[in-house]
Amino acid sequence: MRNIAPAISPPAGIGDRKPANQAVLDWVQDVAKLTQPENIFWCDGSDCENAFLIEQSLQQNVLIKLNEKKVPRSYLHRSNPNDVARVEQFTFICTPTKEEAGPTNNWSEPAEMYLKLQTMLKGAMRGRTMFVIPYIMGPADSLLTKVGFEITDSKYVVLSMRIMTRMGDVAIKRLGDDANAEWNRGVHSLLDVDPTRRFICHFPQDNAIISVGSGYGGNVLLSKKCLALRIGSYLARKQGWLAEHMLILGVESPEGKKHYVAAAFPSACGKTNFAMLIPPKHFAGWKVTTVGDDIAWMQIRDGRLSAVNPENGYFGVVPGTSYKSNPNAMKSIEHDTLYTNVALTDDGDVWWEGKDGAPPAHAIDWRGNDWTPDSKEKAAHPNSRFATPMGNNPVLDPDVEKGEGVPISAIIFGGRRSDTMPLVFQAFDWNHGVYLGATMASETTAAATGAVGQVRRDPMAMLPFCGYNIGDYFRHWIEIGKRLTNPPLIFNVNWFRKGKDRKFLWPGFGDNMRVLKWIIDRCEKSGGAVESPIGWLPSPHDVDLADLDVEHKCIVEILGIDHEEWQKELAGHQNFFESLGGVVPEELLKQREQLAARFKQ
């Protein structure tokens, strides 16, 4: 079956980097005893190991080599068509009590789930190679950095983890040989890629993850959503820091004054694009740099929030990426990139909906079928992705490896809302900002299986990623605020509001710089705003709109609020809080009352 390849036998010197740590060796033996692989391949992350695995993947049709001239050292992978996105309904937080997992997570009793998974994993790697991947999340010299080991029977996972994490010797060295050292245990097996036997399970109290039945992205790169967000958020609460679904960007003025901003937008709602934006011509001398595009780990330093990106690469949405929308992403994925589920042109190039230029007259679509511009099906899957090392990014921030992180001046929350939410507004204070995050909503996207375009509450863009009780998570945010003497200002943005013609009112992408500039002005105490029931709103002359080809009435519409829509929104907040069954902190309930009262004034 596709993507499930037989065992490989590496030559001497490859696949034999066994760590010295006895706890790791014992765990690997236990998993091998259960899954019965043909052999064990100990990864070291080296170039020759990578070259060998790519060679094997090409032979076994796990990868297709792309045209070396057009996209050097790059490959295409096609996942099983039943396996193209995260599966939230099969994602579990298996804490000792259901209360710890809370009202927004699927929960199962840990012993029960371990037993069920062990039954599925019994003999699951027969005839296959079991890979052991050592990796760290976070810069090599950061106190926040975590060690993980992922066992997998997928070469695609190994090749992706080498891009997405700092993998190999750096992790083995960091772990050392103390058998009591803290590290994350991740087990992944494709099984038979059957959606009815697909489970992504977290055991935060054991720092363990087990993922079966999938070969796709966030389900199987256990470093990412599973460790850096779900287990990460659980550890963060215990240890007094924050693990968030946020990009981190640097923004430097022509005078050389630099701020860092973190922004939480739900899946496929614009983090990668915002993190790499190129300011419009009018903003000559302004520069945006990327620290991270998906995950931020933030700790308190000198009374401020300080953020690191735990990842080493970007697993980004491909469709819609072009030289017009995101030139820095295009340059990042021109070489040394692993593509998943895009279309393949007849000359060995990649193609997707929204790429620059005319569509090819013929291509092979993401499923492997013939495709022409007349086809009804999309050539690339809407959740097709690139995995590319952050070193490819032309605007990578120089402080991305800094262990202490970068100081955060502003936090931005934002969703995909065709109505109600204005382009940007500012919270009155920290707790009001926490309320904005807690009540965020967004239209669902192809990043998770299920209906697309349905508005749902997605607090802090963490609904699918919070590894514990969402009420405790809100409480944790409030407590962090109390410890900050110099807290970031908190904002809300919406790039996706539509007019009566159902078209986006705001051009987005590079023009989001105009909003970012207002946010920076507010941080610098120089930006104007008017007080409104929902927070500080810029009036049209507070935002730099020079050279922007948008009608004034659209600007007024997108910067404004409609009181009728907001009455519905308020009811939505109340319904959401009630649906959580009494876990919402008093402070946030009070925020809701105050918001409602401000509308009545």
Binding site for ligand SPV (CB under 6 A): 86, 217-218, 224-225, 267, 294, 315, 447
Residue 153 near Mn ion by CB under 5 A:
no
Task: Print the binding letters for residues 227-266 with ligand GTP: x by CB under 6 A, - otherwise.
Answer: --------------------------------------x-
- Of 151, 133, 126, 155, the residue nearest 51 (C-alpha): 155
Give the Cα separation of 422 and 410 in Å (integer).
18
Token pair for residue 206?
């054991």
Give the Cα separation of 175 and 182 in Å (integer).
8
Residue 371 near ligand GTP by CB under 6 A:
no
DSSP assignments along 438-500, one per residue: HT-EEE--TTBSS-SS-EEE-GGG-TTT--S-HHHHHHHHHHHHHH-SSPPEEEEE-S--B-T
- Of 15, 475, 514, the residue nearest 288 (C-alpha): 514
Q: Which amino acid is present at 451?
A: A
CB nearer Mn ion, residue 129 or residue 267:
267
**CA dihedral (366, 372, 375, 378) positive or negative:** positive
48 is known as an active-site residue: no
Among ligand GTP, Mn ion, ligand SPV, none, residue 74 binds (CB under 5-8 Å by kind):
none
At closest approach, how far in Å is the CB of 453 from ligand SPV? 16
Task: Print the binding letters for residues 438-457 with ligand GTP: x by CB under 6 A, - otherwise.
Answer: ---------x----------
Burial class of 526 by CB neighbour count within 10 A (0 to 12, 13 to 18, 19+): exposed
Among ligand SPV, ligand GTP, Mn ion, none, residue 218 binds (CB under 5-8 Å by kind):
ligand SPV
Phi, psi of 555 (to 5 degrees): -65, -45
At closest approach, how far in Å is the CB of 296 from ligand GTP? 12
Task: Print the binding letters for residues 308-347 with ligand GTP: x by CB under 6 A, - otherwise.
Answer: --------xx-xx----x----------------------
Catalytic position from the list 94, 226, 269, 523? 269
The alpha helices in 122-249, defined as continuous H runs, are 155-164, 169-175, 217-220, 232-239
At closest approach, how far in Å is the CB of 211 from ligand SPV? 12
Would you mind telling me the total number of residues written for the chain in this entry? 601
Whether the CB-CB separation of 148 and 183 falls below 8 Å is answered with yes
Whether the CB-CB separation of 445 and 320 falls below 8 Å is answered with no
Residues 486-515 that bind ligand GTP (CB under 6 A): 495-496, 504, 508-509, 512
CB nearer ligand GTP, residue 28 or residue 423:
423
Longest dimension (CA), the chain: 77
Among ligand SPV, ligand GTP, Mn ion, none, residue 437 binds (CB under 5-8 Å by kind):
none
Counting Cα atoms < 13 Å in the Cβ hemisphere of 195 gives 12
CB nearer ligand SPV, residue 31 or residue 263:
263
User: Phi-psi region for residue 176, left (φ > 0), alpha (ψ -120 to 50) or beta?
Assistant: left
Among Mn ion, ligand GTP, ligand SPV, none, residue 273 binds (CB under 5-8 Å by kind):
ligand GTP
At closest approach, how far in Å is the CB of 267 from Mn ion? 5
- Which residue in this structure is represented by tokens 């401020």? 304
Give the Cα separation of 315 and 146 in Å (integer).
20
Task: Return the bridge partners of 289, or none.
Answer: 250
Edge-to-edge strands, sheet with 338-340: 64-65, 75-77, 338-340, 385-389, 313-317
- Residue from 45, 110, 148, 270 binding ligand GTP (CB under 6 A): 270
At closest approach, how far in Å is the CB of 38 from ligand GTP? 35
CB nearer ligand SPV, residue 75 or residue 216:
216
CB nearer ligand SPV, residue 172 or residue 228:
228
At closest approach, how far in Å is the CB of 87 from Mn ion? 15
**Structure letter (DSSP) for residue 366:** T
Q: How far is CA 582 from the centre of its chain?
A: 29
Residues 292-311 that bind Mn ion (CB under 5 A): 294
CB nearer ligand GTP, residue 152 or residue 273:
273
Residue 271 near ligand GTP by CB under 6 A:
yes
Residue 267 near ligand GTP by CB under 6 A:
yes
Give the Cα separation of 495 and 515 in Å (integer).
10
At closest approach, how far in Å is the CB of 486 from ligand GTP? 27
CB nearer ligand SPV, residue 35 or residue 332:
332
Residues that bind ligand GTP (CB under 6 A): 265, 267-273, 293-294, 316-317, 319-320, 325, 447, 495-496, 504, 508-509, 512
Residues that bind Mn ion (CB under 5 A): 267, 294
Indicate which residues carry an active-site annotation: 269
